[in-house]
Amino acid sequence: MKTKIRILSLDGGGIRGIITCVILKYIEEQLQKIDHPNAKIGDYFDMISGSSTGGLIASLILFPNQDGKAKFSVQEALDLYANKGEDIFTVSMWEKIINPFGLFNEKISQRNLEKQLQEVFGNLELSQFIKPSLITSYDIFNRKAKFFTSHDAVETLQNFYVKDVCRATSAAPTYFEPAQIKSTYGQEFTLIDGGVYANNPALCAYSEAQKLKFSKLLQNSNKPDYPKIKDILMVSVGTGMVLQPYSFKNFENAGKIKWVSPLIDILLSSNVETVDYHLQKMYETLGARNSKNYYRLMPSLYNASADMDNTSAKNIYNLIQAGFQYIEKNQNMLTTIAKKLIANK
């Protein structure tokens, strides 16, 4: 009997990715209780996609150990993320003086980010990921989407260092300057954050999954090839609802400068919501039973800041608490997800 293809999709959201890690940690703990005490979530999905901060988390989850299994538990990923987040997003006083509010240059220097990525990933290559992946970015020179897919990275033209993949997917406009990276073949790309078109990459992951021969990629004859929507268990995780209202009065006769920040916020949020809408409707066509194989996990931010770069100790605490709040309200659903992941190994 064929089992379902298990896809994990992780939204962008900067430091708010801590919420994602907290939720995934709880699911991993359920896997450890039900299936194996050393279970790691990377071994329980057949494909993982991510945009921006979601791409960073996906890369940690897909990092191989010496046996080709997941190296990091979610707790280890959370520790890395929380500890290194402050270093990545630190802005010096001098930078604040010469570049107030990021008006004249990128808000954050890419040097800290690149240093941390080098320390974590070293020379790990995309082709070494333990499972098929889809990590998003956007090519601003050729004006088209760029997807980093580990299953295509067997070709050197499509293979990259993971540190460069992470640098590209997290190059959020106004926060970091574009990433100039090369494939292992030597082709150069100029890339920005994939969140500009797919802050929620779940629909991209579904489209990519349809063209894959999973039984061969995973060496598992129970996995369906070229899966349709009925063959997929989709878990899509957001980084917190951002519901900042904008009134007509505030934007009556507003110019370009006043629109920049709100427009980025609106574009990212609307993309996330639209992808969720499409997937909900697609799964609804399968009937009541199979429609329950799509899970959209979108927590409230509660007291946490919506800012993607707020790494104060108070905000990191509030982000963790927001994750706890979501878990408390959705324990049964999260345990059900863990059981389904195990049943579809």
CB contact at 8 A, 23 and 337: no
Alpha-carbon distance of 206 to 227, in angstroms, equals 9
Q: At what angle do helices 74-89 and 53-61 cross, to 10 degrees?
A: 140
Alpha-carbon distance of 56 to 70, in angstroms, equals 15
247 is an active site residue: no
Residue type, 22: V
Q: At what angle do helices 17-34 and 74-89 cross, to 10 degrees?
A: 170
Alpha-carbon distance of 21 to 42, in angstroms, equals 12
Please identify which of the residues 193, 231, 276, 309 carries the catalytic annotation: 193
In Å, how far are 13, 25, 98, 256 from 308, measured between CA atoms? 6, 21, 21, 22
52 is an active site residue: yes
Q: DSSP characters for 125-185?
A: BGGG-SS-EEEEEEETTTTEEEEE-GGGTTSGGG--BHHHHHHHHT--TTTSPPEEEE-TT
Neighbours of 142 (CB within 10 A): 11
Residue type, 287: G
Please identify which of the residues 9, 49, 51, 52 carries the catalytic annotation: 52
* Residue 6, phi then psi, degrees to nearest 5: -100, 115
Show which residues are catalytic.
Answer: 52, 193
